Structure 1
Amino acid sequence: MYSDTARAGTPTSTAPSAPTWDPQQYLRHSGHRTRPFLDLLTRIPELPHRPARIADLGCGPGNVTTLLTERWPEARVTGFDLSPEMLHRAGEEHAGPTPGGGSLDFRHGDLATWLPEEPYDLIVSNAALQWVPNHPGSFGAWINGLRPGGTFAFQIPGNFTAPSHALLAQQCDTPRWRSRLAGHGARYIHLLEPAEYLARFTELGCEADIWETTYHQLLQGPDPVLDWVKGTALRPVLTALGDDRDAVDAFLTEYRDRLRAAYPTGPRGTVFPFRRIFAVARKEA
């Protein structure tokens, strides 16, 4: 265990690390994680071309990408992701021809630099753009990559002032952890509010539908909020600590205790409010 200053191992750079992803951990809460995408799908209008060409930016393990093939069975769908672990899982479990005559494949793609390489009818992103600091600056190029009447749609978490994330940022910046983790818990100041996203898309000449929802999720099991963030917000921290098992155990124990106080367990589970921001922008036909 640590004293009040980080001392085990050589301190790493304080620049946030590119996280290593664990598909199995991410999928442990797949039901709750999928629900916002299902809500987003209901608001996407009909696409201008059949069979549709669709890109899923930040496809993760591919389980959500398959929902696109259910809505548009004949479509050619490509999921893009930066994580080799996620792409391996997606390709192994979901790639190939689809029952409706379409196809599903997965490719490496960095959303910070990704540009449409062909005209798309739909570009969609599920809980990924929060990892891309300058993502609003790409909107113009992505909209230009749509066919007339095409749609760009995404949903992102909007809960970065919630205790789960505020406590993580505070802990990373304590004397005990600052030399190794400063900046790793506060990566999301670049996110816009719904009205700002609306302004961006209307300036680009799109018909925009922007909204937000807070899901009050009832999580089960011991320390379920910690289990949830192990699949997402904690990934940069766990990546930075690497194989230093003592450091990982010490950090998680401290963070677990903070989360227990912020999210007490009730008789039927632990309530975890989660705000999401949604956007559907349709290019002029």
Structure 2
Amino acid sequence: MWDPAKYLDFADLRGRPFFDLTARIGATAPRRVVDLGCGPGNLTAALAQRWPQAALEASDNSPEMVAAARKLGIDAELIDVRQWSPKPDTDVVVSNAVLQWVPEHRELLERWVRELPRGAWIAIQVPGNFDAPSHVLARELAASAGWADKLGSVGLRDDDAVDAPPQYAERLARLGCQVDAWETTYTQRLQGDNAVLEWITGTALRPVKAALDAQDWQRFRSELAAMLDRAYPPRGDGTTWFEFRRIFVVARTPQRRRRSRVGSR
């Protein structure tokens, strides 16, 4: 389960990569704009404002997130991103902080390129911080003697969950796409007690929370909080610096059909 309220605790900071991503989309008058993994809908609304003439399509695989988006007036649908296929008029596809949850997302991107109209835009953003202390320590604690029996089957993602920008660029360029791929590390100033713990509770720790009862969940949080405080020591004013690396890819599908090569006789 996703908790929309917890996810929105850091809405401004979580939203910044979305705007950096979509700023690189060059579409001027798209017919249909799709937000795959729309979450609570707060960022989907920005797509509607940018392209008010376009049909807006939004979906998420979380009933809680879909319900939250609908409260904002977004006509979101409950769909697994792996089952989605573009309609013929789809000119922009945005997938913000979603595909890291989908092991087969590389093949999914290739399918979208083949199914989308010529000249369509695909914009994705995924986290690149699986080797950061926040994630490494959570995996180490889950695998420790005190927790392995309860959490051994919980698959906390590591750094092979996503590719580096050059790998995505090469994969899409081979299909004839124009590709812009880059990475950014945001040095964020988080407020409040156990700030890094609260940050990852809304995302990376969801599988852990789902696997534990309430008492064990609080015990796990307490142990992890002490580890994170050592890795991310709070400043004197109660804030904490947190490095947040993100990977971005904006690709445009081929504007002309590829000519098949005819072998010489």
Asked whether the two chains share a fold, i.e. TM above 0.5, the reply is yes
The amino acid that maps onto 2:181 is I
- Equivalence for 1:236: 207
Give the structure, 1 or 2, with the largest relative contact order (CA under 8 Å, sep 6 or more).
1
Aligned partners of 2:30 and 2:92 also within 8 Å: no
2: CA distance, partners of 1:21 / 1:86: 7
The amino acid that maps onto 1:270 is T
- Equivalence for 1:75: 54
Q: Structure 1: which 5+ residue stretches go unaligned?
A: 1-19, 96-104
Q: Match of 2:137, SS? A: helix
Q: Match of 2:119, SS? A: strand
Q: Match of 1:112, SS? A: helix
Q: Structure 2: which 5+ residue stretches go unaligned?
A: 256-265
The CA deviation at 1:51 is 5.2
The number of residue pairs the alignment matches comes to: 253
The amino acid that maps onto 1:173 is A
Q: Match of 2:83, SS? A: coil
2: CA distance, partners of 1:283 / 1:147: 8
2: CA distance, partners of 1:236 / 1:186: 7
Aligned partners of 2:36 and 2:59 also within 8 Å: yes
The RMSD of aligned alpha carbons is: 1.3
Distance 1:41 1:240, change over 3 A: same
The 5 Å alignment of 1:173-192 reads: 173-182=143-152, 184=154, 186-188=156-158, 189-192=160-163
2: CA distance, partners of 1:66 / 1:25: 19
2: CA distance, partners of 1:217 / 1:185: 27
The CA deviation at 1:181 is 1.1
- Equivalence for 1:198: 169
The CA deviation at 1:141 is 1.7
Matched, 1:56 2:56: no
Aligned partners of 2:30 and 2:91 also within 8 Å: no
The 5 Å alignment of 1:137-176 reads: 137-176=107-146
Identity in percent: 45
Q: Match of 2:179, SS? A: strand
TM, length-normalised to structure 2? 0.92
2: CA distance, partners of 1:259 / 1:185: 20
Distance 1:25 1:183, change over 3 A: same
* 1:196-241 CA distance string (max 9 Å, x none): 1011110111000000000000001111111111110011111111
Aligned partners of 1:121 and 1:150 also within 8 Å: yes
2: CA distance, partners of 1:63 / 1:124: 14
The CA deviation at 1:175 is 1.3
* 1:107-139 CA distance string (max 9 Å, x none): 111123322244310111111111111100111
Matched, 1:264 2:233: yes
The CA deviation at 1:185 is 5.5
Distance 1:185 1:264, change over 3 A: farther
- Equivalence for 2:189: 218
Distance 1:185 1:263, change over 3 A: farther
Matched, 1:33 2:4: no
TM, length-normalised to structure 1? 0.85
2: CA distance, partners of 1:187 / 1:112: 18
- Equivalence for 1:131: 101
Distance 1:33 1:57, change over 3 A: same
The CA deviation at 1:176 is 1.0
2: CA distance, partners of 1:118 / 1:169: 42
2: CA distance, partners of 1:177 / 1:31: 34
- Equivalence for 2:63: 84
Matched, 1:119 2:89: yes
Aligned partners of 1:120 and 1:145 also within 8 Å: no
The CA deviation at 1:179 is 1.7
Q: Could you tell me which of 214, 220, 228 is aligned with 1:245? A: 214
The amino acid that maps onto 2:10 is H
